[in-house]
Amino acid sequence: MRHVADIPHPEMKLTLLAWNGKYLLKCEQGPFEQTYKVAELDLLGGDAELPQVLDEAFVAAVLRRFAEMRTDFGDALERHDLV
């Protein structure tokens, strides 16, 4: 796996990796992680095109999903009296 870039963002860590003919966009916030895989051939301009994909709507959706993940995990812990 090859590290391509760290993409600055104030609310999460964004890392772009290349592996096995795919780009992997790894989004991390605290203990939670989301990974998006894109075939290298789908980005004809190479990894330079990826920042265009990271528009406001996409980033907002990723952040909402992190909030949902925290809620889901917290709810599961409460159901089993683990908090």
Strands (E), the chain: 2-7, 13-19, 22-29, 32-39
Q: Going residue by residue through the chain (83 aa), what tens digit of pLDDT does each one get?
A: 999 999 999 999 999 999 999 999 999 999 999 999 999 888 877 777 778 889 999 999 999 999 999 999 999 999 999 98
pTM: 0.89
Q: Which two tokens stand for residue 18?
A: 């290349």
Residue 6: which region, alpha, beta or left (left: phi > 0; alpha: psi -120 to 50)?
Answer: beta
Domain boundaries, the chain: 2-79
pLDDT of residue 45: 77
Amino acid at 42: D
